[in-house]
Amino acid sequence: MSGVEQVRQLPSILLIDDDVISREVMPMMLEMHGFTVETAEDGDAALRLLQDSGKQPGVILMDTQMPGLSGVALVQALRADSHARIVAISASEPGEAIRQAVDGFLLKPVQPEDVIALLDAAEGAPVAEKSGTAETAEVIDPVVLGKFKAMMPASSVLEIYAATATDLKERLAALQTAMDTGNSAEVAQIAHAIKGACAMVGLSGAREAAARLEISNVPVTWPEEVVQLHIALRGLEGMLGDGFPA
């Protein structure tokens, strides 16, 4: 039919991520670009979904650090049930083992353009990986916030950041418990989750504090980073109480 541009057929996506903010924000952004997205909160849930539904996604986006079945073991289990292209996503650079096991890697926050670029790349060709948000004194990265405002109504933007504030408050309580007991592994795990969630929504200061906390094995440095997380939370809550988003 002349004068009508053919619409590109995008593959369906299965997103596996234990972070609730990522499971809310990422599908919304991908679906606005024409992708069909289903989600699973962990590896076992993803395998049940594949087995019970009989659906075959074209692409599987999987977080590299989740409780339970995760990492290389999850990749191997997924390949037994699916022929999808498996792409690791994380707020941290993955180890060599996971890089060798998957078909690609994207650094959070994942944007629809990143997925499309990866799909368009020649097999085995490197895909540009984002280095993360530059340091800024603002509570929310204006570039990320601007993208949200351009893609969705103000009420949806408000819901995303309200959910982020609630999630961060809960994780900070769990983080304090882990610190009080000196559980460095739990501190690192919670910090990693905070980093991923904050990267998704552009909370730059919180993301950077969580990134430092994740790799710190020196308990004396923990309180300083937690203070920065609380400052970010108070800043976000203050914005939410002032009629955000403007």
Domains by residue range for the chain, with CATH: 13-120 (3.40.50.2300), 142-240 (1.20.120)
Q: Which residues pair with 86 in a beta bridge?
A: 60
* Three-state DSSP class for residue 56: coil
DSSP 98-143: HHHHSSEEEESSP-HHHHHHHHHSPTT--------PPP-SSSS-HH
Half-sphere exposure of 232 (CA within 13 A, CB side): 34
If pLDDT is split at 50, 70 and 90, which confidence band does 14 have?
A: very high
**Hey, what are 209's tokens?**
């504090």
- Residue 153, number of CB atoms within 10 A of its CB: 10
pLDDT of residue 48: 94
φ and ψ of 40, to 5 deg: -140, 140
Contact 200, 26 (CB under 8 A): yes
Q: Residue 13: which pLDDT band, with cuts at 50, 70 and 90? A: very high
pTM given for the model: 0.70
Mean residue pLDDT across the chain: 85
Of 167, 171, 109, 166, give the one whose Cα is nearest residue 141: 109
In which band, very low, low, confident or very high, does the pLDDT at 109 lie, cut at 50, 70 and 90?
confident
